[in-house]
Structure 1
Amino acid sequence: MPRTVPRRTDHHNPPHRGRTPRRPHPPSTRPPTSSGTPSRALYQHTQTVAQPRHPLRQDRHHLPSSAPPRSPPHLDHADAKGTAQLQGPWRRGGAEVSGRGTTVMRVTGFNADQRWSESMPAAYEQYLVPVVFRPFAEDLTAKAAALHPRRIPELAAGTGVLTSNLLATAPSAEVTATDLNEAMVAVGSARAPGAVWRQADAQRLPFPDGGFDLVVCQFGVMFFPDRVAAFTEARRVLASGGRFLFNTWGPLGTHAFEVALQAGLERAFPVDPPRFFPTVPHGYADPAVVVADLAAAGFTVEEEQELTLQGRAASTADLATGYLTGTPVRATLEERGDGPAVRATVIEEMTARLGPGPVTAPMTAYVFRAAA
């Protein structure tokens, strides 16, 4: 059965006759429900306060729908307690968080692991795209081309590996690539200039109803704070009978590169290791949950496939460099310090498990095709 998406509750007390009503309670900071769907009232805008350390699954939340859209911030730095200076963009494909200049904003449950700074896309593109993402982009492109699409929006397009493949394989299609992160859009638009590039929130797409016949997304849905909301938007912009085609990673244990990486991080940080990879990229790894979310958004699932492909890296050291400098783990390592020693430990552990390279290892994902 489709799961119920929690709705934001009113925390205001009812009025009382004869006396001034009590002040409203602050928004709830409760963690996600047992179904994995986050509470919609997580973020609160206050001044500098300390951040509680919650699991990363609590970080995938977004502003209440009543909040006005603003430019997404880039978290330039954060102190040891988690108070962040917000500037520019952050997040791959999820909701926006307001903040400009040197505004200090509190985001309850935020963790540095989920930041994307402007310097990450280059390392991501150089070290990770060829090894980890291109094999799956080729598969998704072949599936998309078989549908003979004419107009395609891509969600959470990143640096454009899928975009480039779509342009080459389906040259007659109009491709509009979107990503919430402005730095990713900048790199992607240079890499795949044949597409129209737009900075956009997958939960509030800037497109009219029924304007496309295929929506695609490669390894982006895991980052959406409210997946049912994002899926509902994808269905809204699709014409009747249009398709939604995307993939998501399987459990961490089915991705040999990232098993070795996480082991290295846990060795470098025996207490409180970064948990970005188990809880975000590999945190949406139950196909039954994905299918339920699609059904809740009004889709009919036509195909669900478990797909294992081989990743090939020239060296384990390069692969580790990509993960440590081209993903949100980088911000965590910079905050905790001693980066060279951490990098050496991670490379040593990954090499012990994978060899120095060239190295080939299996990676598993799930691929879904749903009809509007």
Structure 2
Amino acid sequence: MSSETARFIGDIPKYYDQGLGPVIFEDYAVDIAGRTAARRPADVLETAAGTGIVTRRLRDALGPQSRLTATDLNEPMLDVAKAKFDAKEQVTFRAADATALPFADGAFDAIVNQFGLMFFPDKDRAHREARRALRPGGRYLFSVWDDARYNPFARLGLEVVDRFFPQDPPKFLKAPFSCAEIDPIKESLIGAGFTDITVSIQARVKDVADPVAFARGLVLGSPLFEQIRERGGVSPETLVEALAGRLTQELGANPMRMPMQAILYEARAA
């Protein structure tokens, strides 16, 4: 992963989990976990597990006989995830790169990745690694964000960042929305050895009771925080206040109603 786009360090995991998790990740996590569990896999791998938002939902949805392994390249994210489980829940945590998985060929019945592909420097290799680690017939489920025009929190975030840093705006908020084109991903999956590929557009509207907490998660709960600090001249809290104001100006308040849209892929290992 590029250090410019994917260093989730320091207090970033905490703000990510508390500020962003309940708003933009949780509902999608419930969906992808349910789809995975419906096929009753015995061995499940989650890549780019982050703070365990999907991991928690997977463990709740999978049968007690299923074994779950959660990986992420950023160990501080996994530290937050581990706190959500007790020792009896059959979840193994391991720091690992999704483009170079430390697992044997055919080790898993299902591999799950929510909103992680966009940060992988070699997406084709990530798909090939997923295919290698899956048993024949195994399922690969992953989601990406659709274009920023369908996700106003991204569009408005970029607008506010550009206003404060007109000469050298931090670029992180562009990265999560860099995989909105469907055909290149489908072609990559076919090239990696997947078949029966289905694509679902998942649109939602989320009520946000605390826009400031969400804005704080967006600014302090992502590598955007490090990019702001490196540039200097503007405090992160100033950016939080401006972003919360812009969000409520366009999306309302009490509650703020925020549209969002993701793309879900499901594929079978040939």
Q: Is the 8 A contact 1:232 1:298 kept in 2?
A: yes
Relative contact order (alpha carbons < 8 A, sep ≥ 6): 1 or 2 greater?
Answer: 2
1:188 counterpart = 2:85: no
Return closer, same or farther for 1:211/1:341 CA change in 2, 3 Å cut-off. closer
Number of aligned positions between the proteins: 263
CA deviation vs aligned residue, 1:73-125 (integer Å, no higher than 9, x gap): xxxxxxxxxxxxxxxxxxxxx48xxxxxxxxxxxxxx63x5432131100111
Report deviation, 1:273: 2.0
Please give the TM-score of this superposition, normalised by the length of structure 2. Answer: 0.92
**CA contact under 8 A between 2:7 and 2:74: conserved in structure 1?**
no
Give the equivalent residue in structure 1 for 2:167: 271
TM-score (norm 1): 0.68
**Is residue 250 of structure 1 aligned with residue 146 of structure 2?**
yes
**Superposition deviation, residue 268 in structure 1:** 2.0
How far has the Cα of 1:342 moved from its partner? 2.9
CA drift at 1:217: 0.6
Q: Which residue of 2 aligns with 1:179?
A: 72
Contact 1:303–1:369 (8 Å) recurs in 2: yes
User: C-alpha root-mean-square deviation of aligned residues, in Å?
Assistant: 1.6
CA apart distance, 1:218? 0.6
The answer for the alignment partner of 1:151 in structure 2 is 43
- Give SS of 1:157's match: coil
Looking at secondary structure, tell me which structure has more helix per residue. Answer: 2
CA contact (8 A) 2:118 2:144 kept: yes
CA contact (8 A) 2:8 2:77 kept: no
Residues of 1 paired with 2:239 and 2:160: CA distance? 9
Cα offsets for 1:147-201 (capped at 9, x unmatched): 1111100000001111111111113211100001010111111113431100011
CA contact (8 A) 1:268 1:346 kept: no
Identify unmatched segments of 5+ residues in structure 1: 1-93, 96-109
Q: CA deviation at 1:357?
A: 3.9
Matched, 1:202 2:98: yes
1:39 is aligned to none
Q: Distance in 2 between matches of 1:282 and 1:192?
A: 30
What CA distance in whole angstroms lies between the structure 1 residues aligned with 2:207 and 2:253? Answer: 12
Give the Cα separation in 1 of the matches to 2:238 and 2:199: 42
Q: Superposed, which structure 2 residues align to 1:231-250 within 5 Å?
A: 231-250=127-146
| Conserved 8 A contact 2:186-2:197 | no
User: How do 1:154-165 and structure 2 match up within 5 A?
Assistant: 154-165=46-57
Per the TM alignment, residue 229 of structure 1 is displaced from its structure 2 partner at its CA by: 0.8
What fraction of aligned residue pairs are identical, expressed as a percent? 36
**C-alpha distance in 2, partners of 1:326/1:356?**
22
